[in-house]
Chain A
């Protein structure tokens, strides 16, 4: 049994469709969570604005 035979038998291409569905579900769930929760100030968002040199 060669590695190429093993790889041929795995039918890896089918996993892509499963991955697509799982990803969409996860992405949608987190995206909904992002917009539903009341956003408290997250200090890290302000890092670019927190520079101490004088901006013109």
Chain B
């Protein structure tokens, strides 16, 4: 029985908003990226401002690129394509508006807080807890609106793009909530529920799946809609889309540990991450094949159409990145590539090649339709494509060269068996020419972005006085979904009954049934994601041998907590790692490899992903206090040719002693055995600061640093990696020995550069 067709109008106003936001934030994110690239070769480009240091600005760039640029692009794609695929207007125009304005407000909040040093310093999850709550609220509104639209749809079957959107919405919600569980100590400061190894595991379960479910699945959804529309060709294979969708959703969840090879993460987790990352190559290429083969019979259109050019190159980069990623996940390859610019090359081939190019293709296709005016200049779009392509190539090739150079130099030994390049600075200076090439590539890419933004704005300016709201005629759905083809077992069967059942299953009728039942579909996506997550998470948290206790490891003192918080606020992990791998070249350069039990009080963990500067895990006691003062005042005074920015404000800004008690209380709530410090954190901090300041003065340094931030930072840095060298303390009687320890081991002054 069919109901009579009635009109359905689509809300393209919300699509216009998200499309323009995408273009604008893309320009912002990439301008920040170019500035960062230039700061590595001209450190003074931070203009002496704390807000513009590399450590504070890089998270702004990554968040803007992922959540502002790619995020808005995803929403533009979802709102445009879902309404048409489901033949239904969005469930609530008001929720659409709330989603849009809420998301932009979150971006602005990030743009303000991150340069101010208000950060959790966990990659792609830097934003502090009030903004995290706002993200959750806006995301819930988006989810309600989206699933409400599915519920009122007039197309029974849910097309593959919508499966990917469903997976994105539910999985991002799970990842965001569980990775951002914290105990606040103030409005702008919190401590992670997890510490050390477990925090690292959770962070990269989140981090890699942010790549998966923000940068991959919704963009595959975008591909499955906009590519057929642009090419006027149907998707190549329906079966392949089923196969690669489910395997992608299940396998991606396991891949996180490949960010932690040869670290203090237990080896079984590392192996698991590697194996599943290698497996991930297959479903990813399923998507690539489905995309490129969709163009069969339409390849002749590509030379004339900039939209198809962007899509073809975008999907090709997707294939390249999703082959390279599994290769980089192999431990022996990762031993060379980890912490180097090879990782940066990989990230940007995906972000610029796949995400950005698919976004540009979508925007150029959308612009005439949503603005109801011809694209202002097709030639400009073509120019954008060529400039962008050349820019990507310059970027990634220079970073491949830099990354491999770094990796090989770090591990090189001379004929006497000693490090060939014992001074880390040599490995930095060697790759500076590549940093210049990368900056040129980035400038070209950014130029293309501005051309695109200009083209989009000119198209918008040509819009009619009033938009025509697009409408279609479609009957509402009546009655329950039709059942799939029945299972038929002939009376005179020629094969075993189970074979008939297998064949019926393989025909995919079960999946078509799910497509007609979005709730069932969504539940199975959640099950797939949760099962995969729990298989890795439960063993990490419950197997005691994962993090063997080291009895000499003690909590940070209150002053060291303040110093660590400064380290986190300045984003030092963006350049410096704190993880000496059990590889001979590392133990020769930095000292003993890092043990899992050393990080039990690290909230958040700060193992880092890059070594633009040297690893710091064993820096405690390596240099006198005064060396650190001089180094932070002017890094080139202690390390000639260093590209590290100067931090002179650390000698003038005061330590927030009044906040330390709240921070210790929060950490104690999380189970850190602070003992006496929970009553006297401030006095303990002041006392330790006075001792350190006196030592600095006795070494010939400036006076009056007892209440300056540099002293807290030095307390923390001098503590790093020293606990394993001290004898374990005897158990306390009535007083806790914790947090009453001295300022650190006797340092051995050395003139050797790190």
Q: A residues touching B (Cβ–Cβ < 8 Å)?
A: 3-5, 7-8, 10, 12-13, 16-17, 19-20, 23-24, 27, 30-31, 33-34, 39, 42, 44-49, 51-53, 55-56
9 more A-B contacts (CB under 8 A) besides A19-B276, A23-B279, A33-B506? Answer: A10-B539, A19-B275, A20-B278, A31-B282, A34-B240, A45-B235, A48-B161, A48-B224, A53-B470
Pick the residue among A7, A13, A23, A46 that contacts B272 (CB under 8 A). A13
Q: Is the CB of B473 within 8 A of A52?
A: yes
Q: Is the CB of B472 within 8 A of A53?
A: yes
Q: Which residue of B lies closest to A24 (CB)?
A: B279
Interface stretch, picked from B56-64, B413-421, B542-550, is B542-550
Q: Which residue of A lies closest to B536 (CB)?
A: A12
CA distance A4 to B538 in the complex (A): 10
Q: Is the CB of A55 within 8 A of B369?
A: yes
CA distance A53 to B372 in the complex (A): 13
Q: Which residue of B lies closest to A39 (CB)?
A: B237
B92 interfacial contact with A, CB 8 Å: no
Residues of B within 8 A of A16 (CB): 271-272, 275-276
Q: Is the CB of B539 within 8 A of A3?
A: no
Q: Is the CB of B542 within 8 A of A4?
A: yes
Residues of A within 8 A of B239 (CB): 30, 33-34
Q: Which residue of B lies closest to A12 (CB)?
A: B539
Residues of A within 8 A of B512 (CB): 44
Pick the residue among B237, B243, B368 that contacts A27 (CB under 8 A). B243
6 contacts between A and B (CB under 8 A): A7-B543, A8-B544, A31-B240, A31-B282, A48-B224, A48-B229
B159 interfacial contact with A, CB 8 Å: yes
Q: Is the CB of A13 within 8 A of B247?
A: no
Residues of A within 8 A of B157 (CB): 44, 47
Pick the residue among A8, A31, A33, A45 that contacts B234 (CB under 8 A). A45
B217-241: contact bitstring with A at CB < 8 Å (1 yes, 0 no)? 0000000110011001011011110
Q: Is the CB of A47 within 8 A of B272?
A: no
B85 interfacial contact with A, CB 8 Å: yes
B101 interfacial contact with A, CB 8 Å: no
Q: Is the CB of A51 within 8 A of B538?
A: no
Closest CB in chain B relative to A49 CB, distance in Å: 6
Closest CB in chain A relative to B596 CB, distance in Å: 15
CA distance A55 to B232 in the complex (A): 11
CA distance A16 to B536 in the complex (A): 10
CA distance A51 to B279 in the complex (A): 37
Residues of B within 8 A of A27 (CB): 243, 247, 282-283
Residues of A within 8 A of B283 (CB): 27
CA distance A7 to B540 in the complex (A): 10
CA distance A48 to B294 in the complex (A): 13
Q: Is the CB of A13 within 8 A of B268?
A: yes
B119-162: contact bitstring with A at CB < 8 Å (1 yes, 0 no)? 00000000000000000000000000000000000010101010
Closest CB in chain A relative to B322 CB, distance in Å: 15
A7 in contact with B369 given A30-B239, A33-B506, A49-B232 (CB within 8 Å): no
Of A8, A30, A45, A47, most buried by chain B (CB within 10 Å of CB) is A47
B84 interfacial contact with A, CB 8 Å: yes
CA distance A30 to B239 in the complex (A): 9
Q: Is the CB of A48 within 8 A of B159?
A: yes
B535 interfacial contact with A, CB 8 Å: yes
Q: Which residue of A lies closest to B81 (CB)?
A: A48
B471 interfacial contact with A, CB 8 Å: yes
Residues of B within 8 A of A23 (CB): 247, 251, 279
Residues of A within 8 A of B538 (CB): 7
Q: Which residue of A lies closest to B545 (CB)?
A: A8
Q: Is the CB of B232 within 8 A of A13?
A: no
Residues of B within 8 A of A33 (CB): 239, 506
Pick the residue among B159, B279, B470 that contacts A20 (CB under 8 A). B279
Closest CB in chain B relative to A15 CB, distance in Å: 8
Closest CB in chain A relative to B363 CB, distance in Å: 15
Q: Is the CB of B535 within 8 A of A12?
A: yes
CA distance A5 to B544 in the complex (A): 8
Pick the residue among B237, B272, B282 that contacts A34 (CB under 8 A). B237
B106 interfacial contact with A, CB 8 Å: no
B524-553: contact bitstring with A at CB < 8 Å (1 yes, 0 no)? 000000000001001100111100000000
Q: Which residue of A lies closest to B242 (CB)?
A: A30
Closest CB in chain B relative to A9 CB, distance in Å: 10
Of A10, A17, A20, most buried by chain B (CB within 10 Å of CB) is A20
Of A42, A45, A46, most buried by chain B (CB within 10 Å of CB) is A45
CA distance A41 to B471 in the complex (A): 28
Q: Is the CB of B235 within 8 A of A4?
A: no
Pick the residue among A3, A7, A52 that contacts B472 (CB under 8 A). A52
CA distance A52 to B154 in the complex (A): 13
Closest CB in chain B relative to A3 CB, distance in Å: 6
Closest CB in chain A relative to B159 CB, distance in Å: 4
A49 in contact with B229 given A27-B247, A33-B506 (CB within 8 Å): yes
Residues of A within 8 A of B272 (CB): 13, 16
A44 in contact with B159 given A34-B239, A49-B228 (CB within 8 Å): yes
Nearest 5 Cβ contacts at the A-B interface: A13-B268, A45-B234, A7-B542, A52-B472, A47-B159
Q: Is the CB of B225 within 8 A of A48?
A: yes
Residues of A within 8 A of B545 (CB): 8
Residues of A within 8 A of B276 (CB): 16, 19-20
Residues of A within 8 A of B10 (CB): 53
Q: Is the CB of A42 within 8 A of B238?
A: yes
